[in-house]
Amino acid sequence: MTASAAEAEDAVTAADAAARGWAALSAADRASIVIKALSGLEADADERAELLVRENGKIRFEATIDLHVFVGRFHQAAKFAPLLDENERIAGPPFTTTISHVPAGVVTIIFPFNWPLAILAASLPYALMAGNAVVVKPPPTTPLSVVRTLRHLVPALPPGVLNVVTGLDEVIGPVVVGDPRVRHVCFTGSVAGGRRIMTMAAPNLTNVTLELGGNDPAIVLADADLDDAAIGRLTAATFMTSGQVCMALKRLYVPRRRYDEIVSGLRAALEPTRIGSGLDAEVTMGPLNTRRQRDYVADLVAEARQSGAEVLQFGDLASTATDGNYLRPALVLDPARDLRIVTEEQFGPALPVMPYDTEAEAIAAANDTWSGLCSSVWSADPEHAMAVAPQLRTGVTFFNNHNATAVDERAPFGGFNQSGIGRELGREGMFDFTETHVMSVPSL
């Protein structure tokens, strides 16, 4: 069902009416209520996983993980909630000052299709436990799995604390972002989408958290251990969810003397790829979510091939891949550094692999981008890796791993440059949904 602008306004009104009562509870009590609301999720987990596969296209295994991460992030958030009940005090003279953190009010959360439940849970439990009433806008292409999941939570929360509005961005977006009663918008999506959110939020000076795209580099150092397990992690870091992950590895820099070795290893890992419906148990890579995105990635690869770069494509199409947005995974070898396959975010199953001669050259190339979400350093020597990592201008740097499987859920997550504003997860992710209130009394 597509909501109207009036129905979106009703959701904001309900959230605004519920916000004060919800905020009056302690953070610990709110966390307890929210965790109890999860109790019914196991009852239809299999059905929701299948629904997510049908909407999203990802393989069944990833859909199941999506559901598990959703629950796990709620429990992780609950560990940080009691911090909000601990006010900081500064003794006098000249003042005795108390610093507290109060809820922002009404929060809108907008998120994408690729890992919809996991990404929603990077913000929803934190916003709720921080004392805010929330309006959730699911992605247009995967609304049903989200709505069915949140139906388990809504009845267990006070009326109006959690609201869900499905519909077209152009119809309900101006309401759930631009209404002056909305005091914080958390958006995960493209850079262009983030700019639109900022434009709509600007008239009311509404606070925003933006987790946007990335063009993540990985630097393999000369001393890296590239056994089958490491090659497997490099492959998964790139091609998970058919490459449709903001923090996926998107540019690979390798020492020239080890270039052939790494390409050979990636080739061996990718050759068995089976492409088709995510409901097919033998399939290891599903389709891209939209035809438009499939065509965009195919254009990037074709442009690189036409420029003279060698393109290797892998995998077989299963019988279930008769009609859909399927692409074979591709390695683009040593492309010109100004090609779009290098400078733009592919968000699909294609990886440029580029040789370098010095570490300084690799670091400079890694930082030469509009983005700054994640990066990774691959080395057998932790001290060597730690010398390189601080030079990378990204919000997160992984070691000998990359992508969502490498995220420490206890730590804040977000990017530099055009990859975003603010942080999700961790202590910072909780406090990001609050306002700081300072109360000072003159001390004698």
| 186/255 same-domain check | no
pLDDT digits (tens, 9 = 90+) for 7-37: 999 999 999 999 999 999 999 999 999 999 9
Report cis status (omega within 30 of 0) of the bond before 329.
no
Q: Domain span at residue 280?
A: 216-406
The Cα 118–Cα 66 span in angstroms is 5
**Do residue 203 and residue 238 come from a single domain?**
no
**Residues designated as active site:** 211, 246
Same domain, yes or no: 200 and 231 = no
Query: Do 251 and 385 belong to one domain?
Result: yes
Instruction: Note whether 251 and 370 are same-domain residues.
Output: yes
Mean pLDDT, all residues of the chain: 96
Cβ contact 248:115 at 8 Å: no
pLDDT given for residue 132 in this prediction = 98
Q: Are 355 and 430 in the same domain?
A: no
Can you tell me the distance from the alpha carbon of 153 to that of 71, in angstroms, rounded to the nearest whole number?
11
Distance CA 350, CA 239 (A): 8
The shares of helix, strand and coil residues in the chain, as percent rounded to the nearest 5, are 45, 20, 35
229 exposed, middle or buried (CB, 10 Å; 0-12, 13-18, 19+)? exposed
Low-confidence winner among 133-137, 254-258, 315-319 (lowest mean pLDDT): 315-319
Asked if 207 and 232 sit in the same domain, the reply is no
Asked if residue 206 and residue 238 are part of one domain, the reply reads: no
CATH number of the domain enclosing 86? 3.40.605.10
| Same-domain pairing of 203 and 236 | no
Q: Are residues 149 and 240 in the same domain?
A: no
CATH number at residue 355: 3.40.309.10
- Of 209, 210, 240, nearest to 405 (Cα)? 240
- Please give the full DSSP string across 323-336, using - where no structure is assigned: SS-----EEEES--
Question: Is the model's pLDDT at 1 over the cut of 80?
Answer: no
- Residue 194 to residue 421: CA distance in whole angstroms: 9
Q: Total structural domains in the chain?
A: 2
In sequence order, the β-bridge partners of residue 211 are 188, 420
Helix (H, G, I), strand (E, B), or coil: what is residue 28? helix
Six-digit token string for 271: 């050759």
104 closest CA partner among 135, 124, 130, 74: 130
- The yes-or-no verdict on residue 444 having pLDDT over 80 is no
With bands split at pLDDT 50, 70 and 90, how would you rate the model's confidence at 401?
Answer: very high
Q: What is the pLDDT of residues 283-338, one digit of tens each?
A: 999 999 999 999 999 999 999 999 999 999 999 999 888 888 999 999 999 999 99
Confidence of residue 253 (pLDDT cuts 50, 70, 90): very high
Give yes or no: residues 359 and 432 share one domain: no
| Token pair of 292 as six digits | 């438009």
Answer yes or no: do 160 and 246 share one domain: no
For the stretch 73-101, pLDDT in tens is: 999 999 999 999 999 999 989 999 999 99
Tokens describing residue 4: 């109207």
Burial of residue 86 (CB within 10 Å: 0-12, 13-18, 19+) is: exposed
pLDDT of res. 439: 96
